[in-house]
Structure 1
Amino acid sequence: MSGKTKPQGINPASKGLHRRTRPPMAYPRGERPPGRPGAPLFSPWWILLLILGGLLAGLGIARGLWMLSSSSEPYLAPQPTSSARTPRVGLVAGHLGHDSGAVCADGLTEVEVNVAIAREVARRLEDLGYQVDVLEEFDERLNGYRAAALLSIHADSCEYINEQATGFKVARAQADAVPEQSDRLVACLISAYRQHTGLRFHADSITYDMTDYHAFREIDPRTPAAIIETGFLYLDRRILTERRERVVEGIVEGLRCFLEGR
């Protein structure tokens, strides 16, 4: 030995270098005790992400609803089927259930012609969505009958009178409770029937029997009504029997003119 003193071991206590020992764990592993510094459970970034996620989810739902509403076959809620929403039309088939009306030499009767026209007009109107009643001449339903319009369908004489006995007639009741409406119904029928049949309006042969027609007195006074003589069974027979579609078209369009406010 050289005389140097042997270095003494370092006493940790003398240098203030106490070795730290981990304190006993008071909380389960993985959990942080209260007050321990660290990131908060919900940072501002997490809150922002949650808000954005909610917005995106809402946009997704809105887009789905928009796609449903703009599809080629959109859903339509069932509508009420109240008959009050559908106009009702009454058609009296002249002489039906009562007598034959005018009779031609070969046996053709007015009632045959009237019924054929009335039924075809009814079919056409029903195809267009109207409610239609085909009524007999003295139908019990005429008493107090209420409708958007009533039309009685007849045909004129089957005897030869003269060369002027051709054409049609339309009239309303002489004593009409709703004259403005019935006048418009008559005007619509005259215009459409003349256009589709080519027959002339035979205004100078309208009779008292037409303007005082019994059904006008029986129906509800608020029902606009008219009577039509579709033609003379002698000179106009061909259009009334062989070209009946023109007659039907003229009546249908005349009624639509009135009912649809054309």
Structure 2
Amino acid sequence: MRRGRWRERPVRSVLDRVALAVRILLFLVLGSLVLLSLSETPSVANWLARSRPKGPLVGLIAGHWQSDSGAVCPDGLEEVDLNLDIARRVAGILRKQGYRVQVLPEYSPKLNGYRADAFLSIHCDSCIEEMSGFKVARMTHSSAPEKEDLLVSTLYESYAEATGLQPHPNTITEDMRQYHALRRIAPETPGAIIECGFMGGDRHLLTREQDRVALGIVNGLVSFLRASGLATPTP
């Protein structure tokens, strides 16, 4: 009897260790899935979008994200933080409406030949106190000028209505018209870049009323998609 008990203990010990290892493995797998579901990194965003193929796809760049700070105010306010906050709010609203959305960093490798039903890079303008307004631009030499003109015009109309800001087209730069991401995406992907306001003159809107900013962008994108004949998804 004593020998039997002695042999039984190691067997139970091994089984207990195996059970513990299985529980740890399951915990790690579940934890990884939770992190994936919360992530906005390009690879995860692409995986999530493919797993939920319902509705048109919208690609967003959070300007300067994972690259640099962008414009910086004297008190340390950084453009990249505003851009990322706005992009995530836009993505959240669109997803609730049934759209697929990918939020990409400034120089994502996914941009090469990127395909979407609408593409927008979100930025904020320099920290100049006496300046106010927003602007939207597309590539100078567009492969689909009519589509991109429509995207720009719907964004202008909807953003002005939602935020109360006036267009500031006179300060559109050549860098905006030749923006690197717009040159990298697939020719059939209609794209634009928006400067949501000046971090100086429009600071209150950009830091305290981001929902209005996001809603203006969402309304412009949705108007464009509907005008392009893409069906409105069911949330």
Q: Please report the TM-score for the alignment, with normalisation by the length of structure 1.
A: 0.66
Q: Per the alignment, do residues 115 and 82 of structure 1 end up closer, same or farther by CA in structure 2, a change over 3 Å counting?
A: closer
**SS of 1:146's equivalent?**
coil
Counterpart for residue 204 of structure 2? 238
Q: Structure 1: how far apart are the matches of 2:54 and 2:76?
A: 43
| Corresponding residue to 2:87 among 94, 111, 118 | 118
The equivalences for 1:169-248 within 5 A come to 169-248=135-214
Q: Structure 2: how far apart are the matches of 1:240 and 1:85?
A: 31
Q: Does 1:152 align with 2:126?
A: no
Letter in 2 for 1:104: C
| Corresponding residue to 2:55 among 86, 100, 103 | 86
Q: Structure 2: how far apart are the matches of 1:91 and 1:189?
A: 14
Query: How far apart are residue 159 of structure 1 and its match?
Result: 3.3
Letter in 1 for 2:75: D
Q: Structure 1: how far apart are the matches of 2:120 and 2:212?
A: 17
Q: Per residue, is there more helix in 1 or in 2?
A: 2
Q: Structure 2: how far apart are the matches of 1:154 and 1:139?
A: 16
Query: How far apart are residue 240 of structure 1 and its match?
Result: 0.4
Letter in 1 for 2:66: G
Q: CA offsets, 1:225-253, max 9 Å, x none?
A: 00000000001000001011110110000
Q: CA offsets, 1:50-104, max 9 Å, x none?
A: xxxxxxxxxxxxxxxxxxxxxxxxxxxxxxx996652100000000010000011
Q: Structure 2: how far apart are the matches of 1:97 and 1:178?
A: 29
* Structure ranking higher on relative contact order (CA contacts 8 Å, 6+ apart): 2
Q: CA offsets, 1:13-36, max 9 Å, x none?
A: xxxxxxxxxxxxxxxxxxxxxxxx
**RMSD across aligned positions (CA):** 1.5
Q: Does 1:258 align with 2:224?
A: yes
Q: For this pair of structures, how many residues does the alignment match?
A: 179
Q: CA offsets, 1:141-160, max 9 Å, x none?
A: 11100000100000000134
Counterpart for residue 109 of structure 1? 78
Q: Structure 1: how far apart are the matches of 2:227 and 2:52?
A: 20
Letter in 1 for 2:92: R
Query: How far apart are residue 260 of structure 1 and its match?
Result: 1.3
Q: Structure 1: how far apart are the matches of 2:172 and 2:77?
A: 23
Structure with the greater alpha carbon radius of gyration: 1
Gaps of 5+ in 1: 1-80
Q: Per the alignment, do residues 243 and 180 of structure 1 end up closer, same or farther by CA in structure 2, a change over 3 Å counting?
A: same
**SS of 1:260's equivalent?**
helix
Q: Structure 1: how far apart are the matches of 2:216 and 2:162?
A: 5
8 Å CA contact 2:53, 2:100 repeated in 1:
no
Q: Please report the TM-score for the alignment, with normalisation by the length of structure 2.
A: 0.74
